[in-house]
Amino acid sequence: MQRKIVFPLFILLFSICISYLLIKSLSANQSPGAVEEQINRTLFDDDFARVDSPDLGESWNEFNEHVSNGSVGSTFLGPGFIELTNGTFAFHYSNHPSKSGVNGQNYRPYAYTTLSSTTSLPVAVTFSISTHSDERVDHIIGLMENDTGFIEVEDGLEIKNYFPQNGISIRLLRSNRNFDNSAIRAVHYDQSGENTLLLSPLPFQFESSDVFTGQLTIDMDLITISMSDGNTTHTDSVSFDPSNLVFDQLFVADQQGGISSLTSGVGDFIVTFDNISVVDSPHLIYLPLVQKDNS
When pLDDT is cut at 50, 70 and 90, the band that residue 108 belongs to is confident
Residue range 250-270, pLDDT digits in tens: 999 988 787 776 777 777 789
The pTM (predicted TM-score) of the whole model is 0.80
Contacts of 30 (CB under 8 A, 6+ apart): 289, 290, 291, 292
Q: What is the CATH code for 41-282?
A: 2.60.120.200
When pLDDT is cut at 50, 70 and 90, the band that residue 104 belongs to is very low
DSSP 110-143: EEEEE-SSPPPSSEEEEEEEE--TT--EEEEEEE
